[in-house]
Amino acid sequence: MIVAATLVSALSLLLSPTAATTPATLVAAGDIASCSSTGDEATAALVARITSTIATLGDTVYDRGSADEFARCYSWRRFVGRTKAALGNHDYGTGNADAAIALFKLPARGWYSYRLGAWHVIVLNSNCRHAGGCEAGSPQDRWLRADLASHRSRCTLAYWHHPRWSSGLHGSDRTMATLWNDLARGGADVVLSGHDHHYERFAPIGGIRSFVVGTGGRSHYPVLLRLPTSRAVNDRDWGVLRLTLRAAGYSWRFVPVAGATWTDTGTASCR
């Protein structure tokens, strides 16, 4: 009877929807909150209406990422329970990122991975000095290669703060080249970053489609000269990127704040 019950239970799991087959939603933005801006309150109103996991792409609160600023200025604080954060340079503004690490319950060096539906999601720390390096052979590089080897999901997404590719004022960050190449060789599909305060989508590079989503509400940076692989840009509107993650593919939509209408949408299969 025990064996029969076990077989029935296993069969029911195979036939019923599971977290791995039900689409998951991820909402992402970086460069978010400041006591001197109301843009983050506008994006918080968007996030409040979307049931999802939240990826904050660094520079969560300005200007120094202090515990006081998180307490007074971080309008997304009510979403902490469903937030998976990456660390930005302003999160280290006090000399360390202790306030962000404590609030979001992050590992000390800021890199980790998690499962979201059918997807493997990797969070890296592009503040390379604080992360122990981003170059080949660094602890983060060794960890990433091991993490990719031990998770054989068809679909993989990664995010961090400083974009490997950007047409914005800060531009493309070459210090992330090794980790980007690790992800490309490992079959990753999507990479998200912030740092430049605009939205931008790139055509796949090395098989990876990347997005800059520095539109969380702090301020806007102009895009003056677009890279050849840039496919969509908005440097005027605050908003969030909403990703629907399916077992073998994904779709994206830039969701602007109230009063704005520009959007960017698309659908793609995983590699």
What digits encode the pLDDT tens for the residues 101-134?
999 999 999 999 999 999 999 999 999 999 999 9
Give pTM, 2 decimals. Answer: 0.92
User: Given the DSSP bridges, would you call strands 24-29 and 249-256 parallel, antiparallel or unpaired?
Assistant: unpaired
- Whether 161 is covered by a domain: the verdict is yes
Q: Name the residue with tokens 């902490």.
A: 80
pLDDT at position 152 is: 83
pLDDT in tens, 60-71: 999 999 999 999
- Whether 135 is covered by a domain: the verdict is yes
- Whether 8 is covered by a domain: the verdict is no
- Whether 7 is covered by a domain: the verdict is no
Domain that holds residue 47: 18-269
- Whether 6 is covered by a domain: the verdict is no
Identify which of 73, 7, 86, 87 has the alpha carbon closest to the alpha carbon of residue 35: 73
d(CA 83, CA 104): 7
DSSP output for 59-74: --BSSS--HHHHHHH-
- Degrees, nearest 5: CA angle 87-235-182: 40
Q: Report how many domains make up the chain.
A: 1
d(CA 253, CA 265): 4
- Whether 202 is covered by a domain: the verdict is yes
d(CA 245, CA 153): 13
- Whether 5 is covered by a domain: the verdict is no
pLDDT greater than 80 at residue 175: yes
